[in-house]
Structure 1
Amino acid sequence: MQTILIVEDERDLAELLSFNLEREGFKTIIATDGLEGLANVGHCQPDLVILDLMLPGMLGTDVCKNLKKSERTSHIPVIMLTAKGEEIDKVVGFEVGADDYVVKPFSSRELLLRVKAVLRRTNTESVSSPMLLFGLIMIDTDRHIVMVDGEEIFFTSTEFKLLHTLAQRPGRVQSRDVLLRDVWGYNFVEDSRTVDTHITRLRTKLGSAGDLIKTVRGFGYKLDLQ
Structure 2
Amino acid sequence: MKICAEAEVDLLDQSLLLLPEKAIYWQQEKALIAADVHLGKSGHFRKAGIAIPQNIAQEDLAVLSDLILQYHPEKLIFLGDLFHSELNTDWDWFAMWREQFPHLKIILVKGNHDIINDEYYHKLNIETPIEYQIGPFLMLHHPLTPAQLLQAEGYVMCGHIHPGVRLHGKGRQALTLPCFTFSEKQAILPSFGRFTGKVAIRHHQDDHVYGVLGDRVIKV
Identify whether the pair has TM-score above 0.5, normalized to the shorter chain: no
Q: Which has the higher helix share?
A: 1
TM-score when scaled to structure 1?
0.29
TM-score when scaled to structure 2?
0.29
